[in-house]
Amino acid sequence: MMDHPKMVLDIALRFYANGVLKGAGRRYVQYVNRASVIGLALGTAALIIVVAVMNGFDRELQLRLLSVTPHLLVSAETPREKLLKIDNVQQVQPFLSAEVLLLADQGGLLFRLQGLAPGDQQVAVMQQALRSGRWWTPQDVAPIILGAPLVERFGYRLGQSIPVALIKVDPRTHRIDPQVSSFTLIGTYALGAETDQAIAITSLSALATVLDLPPAQRLHLKDPMAVQSAREDLISRGTTPLSSWEREFGAFFQAVQLEKLMMGLLLSVLVGLALISLTAGMRIVMLEKQQTTVILMTLGLTAKDCRHIFLIQSALLSVTGIVIGLLLGVLVASQLPALMAAVEGLTGFSIVTGSYFSDLPVDIRLLDTAVIIFSAMLSCAWVMWRLVQANFRLAQDPASSNKPSAGL
């Protein structure tokens, strides 16, 4: 505890105001203090902006990929009521899919054909993504909806018959029987992801007729990223999942998370450099205030009070830089799509050119922002505490004020 808290706080605030706000004192001390605050603000803002952009890409990829990929598949024999008792399960629907080969004059293409039930959540997603044509009706015998890039690539037209080759397995003899089936193109979709060139959809009844197989059960999870816990819950209940989205996209999303972590670590160097500058500035301030500190101790302040003065001043400088960085980072991140659109309109350059994204996705998450701010605050507090404890010798030996090297 401080012996003279009110006086210590008043002096620390005066040192802080003179060094940063009012422009009093020596110019180089003002310059170092202001440069430290600006550097800390820019480093914090850069971290918030980059993490928000990485979160935006992660969110869009999850929405576009996992909305058209079964989170978990289980056999049709498992009772539906048993599956709905799992906490993370939101919906259970019949589902079929098969790897098929598109037959065309320009060459074949392997893609996945999905059979969707009318109540499947993916139906609403695909209907919103329809680019041309219509959705199928019960009167359509063998409808198919292809990704717009595939239709443009092969030059298909709505109403055209699309021949595909698929492998049919006899459930009794397990004999593999390749066959060619035709579907009628009734629409195109565009999700803005790789799935546009890898997935086609049809009605569940049409695909079940072609494959002559009973549908499996598709589990939609409330939190697709918690698929591992849902899998373990199923196994503990005696049900072994047939597949999950992790098998197809698990490594991809792990790479996205690793990239986000590496970008955060690299940009943390900016905060570290600003912290080094702040440390050097506080050492200069402590050296400059040697005689002032001797006078304060003569007037009755203790060594602990003098340390607290510099600790409070350094804390105020740190908080100022971090708060400015927080406000600047959140403001710029929230307006980043509009800023990039303006830059594209003026220069014709777009950072997302050649990707599936029409604009730069941004997702400012409270938890990530709080972690950045807390880490910056904790780092500043630890460094400043170590600095004052290790370099403040004047308070212990006031007589050394006559020596140029004292105090550091």
> d(Cα 142, Cα 145) in Å, to the nearest integer?
10
**Mean pLDDT, to the nearest integer, of 140-149?**
90
Residue 403 has pLDDT above 50, yes or no: no
Q: Which of 23-37, 107-121, 322-336 has the lowest mean pLDDT?
A: 23-37
* pLDDT score for 313: 83
pLDDT, mean over the chain: 81
* pLDDT score for 183: 92
Mention every residue, 6+ apart, whose C-beta is less than 8 A from residue 50. Answer: 263, 264, 267
Instruction: Sort residue 166 into left (φ over 0), alpha (ψ -120 to 50) or beta.
Output: beta
> d(Cα 268, Cα 262) in Å, to the nearest integer?
10
CB-CB neighbours of 276 under 10 Å: 13
Confidence of residue 352 (pLDDT cuts 50, 70, 90): low
Q: Which of 213-222, 360-369, 387-396 has the lowest mean pLDDT?
A: 387-396
Q: Assess contact for 34 and 20: CB atoms under 8 A.
A: yes
Q: Assess contact for 54 and 285: CB atoms under 8 A.
A: no
Closest Cα partner for 117 from 187, 203, 219, 217?
203
Residue 210 has pLDDT above 50, yes or no: yes
* pLDDT score for 245: 85
Residue 405 has pLDDT above 50, yes or no: no
The size of the chain, in residues, is: 408
Residue 146 has pLDDT above 80, yes or no: yes
The predicted-structure confidence for 223-249, as pLDDT tens digits, reads as follows 888 888 888 888 888 888 888 888 877
> Mapping DSSP to helix (H, G, I), strand (E, B) and coil, where does residue 349 land?
coil
**Mean pLDDT, to the nearest integer, of 35-63?**
87
* pLDDT score for 4: 67
Instruction: Sort residue 146 into left (φ over 0), alpha (ψ -120 to 50) or beta.
Output: beta
pTM above 0.85, yes or no: no
Confidence of residue 396 (pLDDT cuts 50, 70, 90): very low
* pLDDT score for 393: 57
**Mean pLDDT, to the nearest integer, of 289-305?**
75
Mention every residue, 6+ apart, whose C-beta is less than 8 A from residue 192. Answer: 64, 356, 357, 358
Q: Which of 8-17, 37-46, 311-320 has the lowest mean pLDDT?
A: 8-17
How large a percentage of the chain has pLDDT more than 90?
13
Q: Which residue has the tokens 């902006």?
A: 49
Q: Where are the beta strands (DSSP E) in 103-209?
A: 109-116, 130-133, 143-147, 161-169, 176-189, 199-203
Residue 392 has pLDDT above 70, yes or no: no
Closest Cα partner for 247 from 30, 398, 73?
73
Interstrand relation of 243-244 and 143-147 (parallel, antiparallel or unpaired): unpaired
Residue 127 has pLDDT above 50, yes or no: yes
> d(Cα 253, Cα 62) in Å, to the nearest integer?
9
Closest Cα partner for 34 from 250, 274, 377, 298?
274
> d(Cα 113, Cα 97) in Å, to the nearest integer?
5
Sign of the torsion angle spanned by Cα atoms 146, 150, 154, 158: positive
